[in-house]
Chain A
Amino acid sequence: MHADDPDEHLMEQYRDGNAEAFTTLYQRNKAALYRYFLRQTHHNSIAEELSQDVWTSIIRARRSYQANAKFTTYLFQIAHNRLVDYYRRADNRVMHNPVNSDEDCEIANGVQHHPDKQAEAAQIQQRLLSLVHALPQEQREAFILKEDAGLSVEQIAMVTDVNAETAKSRLRYAVKKIREGLKDFL
């Protein structure tokens, strides 16, 4: 097993009983998955719970794994389904409210009101996260899958179960909104 083995190969090794392969695989993808849930749910505990559910599902289904696609696509497909299930069970306000709560808007505008109290870089990063937070759920998901998981438009479309044009459109709108929000910093 090499450190530069693709994720699919590592998963196949784990399927065949190599636990160390899974450790490497997990270390590569754990942060992206965790942040995916964290950006969508805005709660650390929920992000931890959902992340554990996804990894547990992969562990239990290791015998049936087939490397038909990129592992990250497989991983975030499971994550997307789990997130949808979470939205269905929980208050779906976030799911159907493209514009987030007033608190989110305050957070997004807070940096603008006190630009001189923080370092400029930190101000920009905080501003960026606030803008991402304020995105509609579909656009936010597309943006996160691109930036955190490194998926292409086609892979995003596969994960979110939409066509590529829709995924591309969501991603374009998301970036446009962030760009407009960071106009003063860029």
Chain B
Amino acid sequence: MNEPIDHKHEDKQISALYQKASAEQPPEHLDNAILAAAKREVRAKPRAVSPFSTRWTLPFSLAAVVVLSVSVVTLVQKEPSMEATGSADRLGQAAESALAHQEEKIAKLKTQAAAPQAESEISAVVSSKKPVTSSKKLQSPERLAEPPPLLPSPQRETEIRVPSSGLSAELTSKETLADSTPQPSEAVPLAETPKRLKLSRTTVPQEPKAEERKADIAESSDNEISTASAAIQPLDESQQQPSRGVLAFRLGSSEPACVLLAPKMCLQSPKCTYILSNESDEQDERYLCREAANHCEQGFDQLQGSKQSCESKPGCLFVPGHCNCLEAQPCDCQGKNPTQCVQQ
């Protein structure tokens, strides 16, 4: 019974002793720091919550999402047209490359133009259906993106000049636009008797693939050149000097030029005359198809024409030849003269 009472007394003694023994105090710097922090916290204004952040956060986010989505969709829809522009750029580069290749081939011909067979080489180049247009046009992607004009421009022409001396050749290409006139100094006078042909773009019937040509620029370029090649005609009747002069190819005639005709077709053509040229050593390149030079040659069929049909014209003389142009066989004159109706 007495033990709990004693313990209570002892516990009170222990508590009193502890209160005396436990007298540690925190350092003054700690007090200052804590009290300063308490005052700073009171002085600091509470962070005001903007009503915009709570009221307009969701609508603003939704609006931003809608705007971004519409922008992305619009850009995606516009992308095909951008790809078309890029295709036009690539096509422009391809056409330019083709033009450079063509000019390189023409330059090679310049070195070989000393021989009279230059005309046939030029015809071969033109018949290769490669673009002979000015590089100025091909360098413009915007123009290439547009469909090429189906109707030719009469101002566009390409001149290939081959001096008749045979020692050197000069081929120039120029583009005559509506706002510019050809430079007279660039043209060789006729007195110098260069061979001159003039190429001019012609009006051709629209082919069934016209729509495709609008879409495919490169293909259109080839078609234009083929059309131009098939439409070479003499520039001027008065300037025709088949043996000497400037070969001028004009794009604008629906009739093929004589230089482009095959031997058999040249022999049968009433406007062309197939002659033997002595300016080349190679047998295959000794023949030349040129325009009929006089009334005797005009209308005369060198393959089936008779002596009577030739000499019925006044001042004309029938000269028999040795050309053999059978069907399914190459036309072979065996290096000799073809049949001609010459003016006496």
Given A22-B35, A129-B22: A48 and B27 interface contact (C-beta under 8 Å): yes
9-residue interface stretch from B8-16, B71-79, B217-225, B261-269: B8-16
Q: How far is the CA of A23 from the CA of B22 in the complex (A)?
A: 22
Contacting residues, chain A, for B20 (C-beta < 8 A): 121, 125
Contact with A along B1-43 (1 / 0, CB 8 A): 0000001001101110111111011110011011101110110
Instruction: Report Cα–Cα, A124/B10, bound state, in Å.
Output: 13
Scan B37-53; emit 1 where CB is below 8 A from any A CB, else 0.
Answer: 11101100010000000
Number of residue pairs A-B, CB distance < 8 angstroms: 85
* Contact of B14 with A35 in the complex, beta carbons under 8 Å: no
Cross-chain contact A34 with B24 (CB below 8 angstroms) = yes
Instruction: Report the bound CA distance from A22 to B25 in whole Å.
Output: 18
Contact A35 B10 (CB under 8 A): no
**Complex Cα gap A147–B12 (Å):** 11
Compute how far the CA of A124 lies from the CA of B14 in the bound complex, rounded to whole angstroms.
10
Known: A19-B39, A60-B41, A128-B21. A26 touches B34 (CB 8 A): yes
B: interface residue count bin: 20 to 34
Residues of B within 8 A of A76 (CB): none
CB of A31 closer than 8 Å to a CB of B: yes
Q: Which residues of A have CB within 8 Å of B11?
A: 175, 179
Of the listed stretches A51-59, A64-72, A82-90, A91-99, name the one at the interface; the rest are far from the partner chain: A51-59
Which residues of chain A from 8 to 30 have a CB within 8 Å of any chain B CB? 14, 17-19, 22-23, 26, 30
With both beta carbons as reference points, the residue of chain B lying nearest to A16 in the complex is identified as B42
- Whether A26 contacts B38 by the Cβ 8 Å rule is yes
What residues of chain B lie closer than 8 Å to A44, measured between beta carbons?
A: 27
Q: Number of A interface residues at 8 Å Cβ cutoff, please give it.
A: 38
Give Cα A52–Cα B17 distance, bound, in whole angstroms.
Answer: 28
Residues of A within 8 A of B25 (CB): 30-31, 34
Q: Could you tell me the distance in whole angstroms from the C-beta of A88 to the nearest C-beta in chain B?
A: 24
Instruction: Give complex CA distance A31, B25 in Å.
Output: 5
B10-A186 in contact (CB<8A) = yes
Interface of B is mostly: helix
How many angstroms between the C-alpha atoms of A14 and B42 in the bound complex? 8
Q: Which of B13, B19, B33, B38 contacts A186 (CB 8 A)?
A: B13
Which of B13, B17, B33, B41 is A125 in contact with, Cβ under 8 Å?
B17
Indicate if the CB atoms of A19 and B27 lie closer than 8 Å. Answer: no
Q: Are B17 and A59 in contact (CB under 8 A)?
A: no
Closest B residue by C-beta to A38: B24
**A132-B10 in contact (CB<8A):** no
On whether the beta carbons of A34 and B26 are closer than 8 Å, the reply is yes
A126 within 8 Å of B (CB atoms): yes
Interface string of A30-44 (1 = CB under 8 A from B): 110011001100001
A179 touches B7 (CB 8 A): yes
Contact B18 A128 (CB under 8 A): yes
A128 contacts B17, C-beta separation under 8 Å? yes
Q: How far is the CA of A18 from the CA of B42 in the complex (A)?
A: 7
With an 8 A cutoff between CB atoms, is A182 at the interface? yes
The answer on a CB contact under 8 Å between B41 and A62 is yes
Contact A56 B31 (CB under 8 A): no
A82 to chain B, nearest CB (A): 14
Q: Are A132 and B18 in contact (CB under 8 A)?
A: yes
The answer to whether B24 and A31 have CB atoms under 8 Å apart is yes
CA distance A71 to B10 in the complex (A): 30
Known: A125-B21, A147-B18. 18 other contacts (CB 8 A): A23-B35, A26-B31, A26-B34, A30-B25, A31-B26, A35-B22, A47-B26, A48-B27, A51-B30, A52-B33, A55-B37, A59-B37, A59-B41, A121-B20, A126-B21, A175-B11, A179-B11, A182-B14
The list of the 3 closest CB pairs from A to B, nearest first, reads: A125-B21, A34-B26, A22-B38
* Pairs A–B under 8 Å by Cβ, sample size 5: A26-B34, A35-B24, A48-B30, A125-B20, A179-B11
Residues of B within 8 A of A (CB): 7, 10-11, 13-15, 17-22, 24-27, 30-31, 33-35, 37-39, 41-42, 46
